[in-house]
């Protein structure tokens, strides 16, 4: 019984360490995605921003001051 307990505790600590490591890594590089996927996501985000900007300017609601009034 105590063996099982020790084991689960050790496993728990291992999991915690792994989680901390993973969090540290994600914090370090933004995401755990491979570069190609990350680049694709960035391209999509940029396109989305351009589209929004175009829509706002077309509607005349965009003010370069930073706030879309």
* Each residue's pLDDT tens digit, 2-36: 555 666 777 888 888 888 888 777 666 655 566 77
Regarding pTM above 0.85, the answer is no
25 plus 46 within the same structural domain: no
27 plus 42 within the same structural domain: no
Q: What average pLDDT does the segment 36-59 reach?
A: 83
Give, in degrees to the nearest 5, the angle at Cα 43 between 39 and 47.
Answer: 170
39 plus 66 within the same structural domain: yes
Domain hosting residue 42, numbered range: 34-69
Non-local CB neighbours of 56 within 8 Å, separated by 6+ positions: 62, 68
CA gap 68, 24 in Å, rounded: 36
CA gap 5, 24 in Å, rounded: 28
C-alpha neighbours within 13 Å on the C-beta side of residue 23? 6
49 plus 67 within the same structural domain: yes
48 plus 24 within the same structural domain: no
27 plus 2 within the same structural domain: yes
56 plus 46 within the same structural domain: yes
């Amino acid at each position: 019984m105590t063996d099982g307990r020790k084991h689960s505790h050790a496993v728990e600590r291992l999991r915690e360490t792994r989680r901390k490591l993973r969090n540290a890594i994600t914090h370090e590089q933004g995401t755990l995605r491979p570069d190609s996927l990350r680049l694709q996501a960035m391209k999509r985000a940029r396109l989305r921003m351009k589209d929004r900007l175009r829509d706002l300017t077309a509607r005349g609601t965009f003010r370069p001051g930073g706030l879309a009034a």
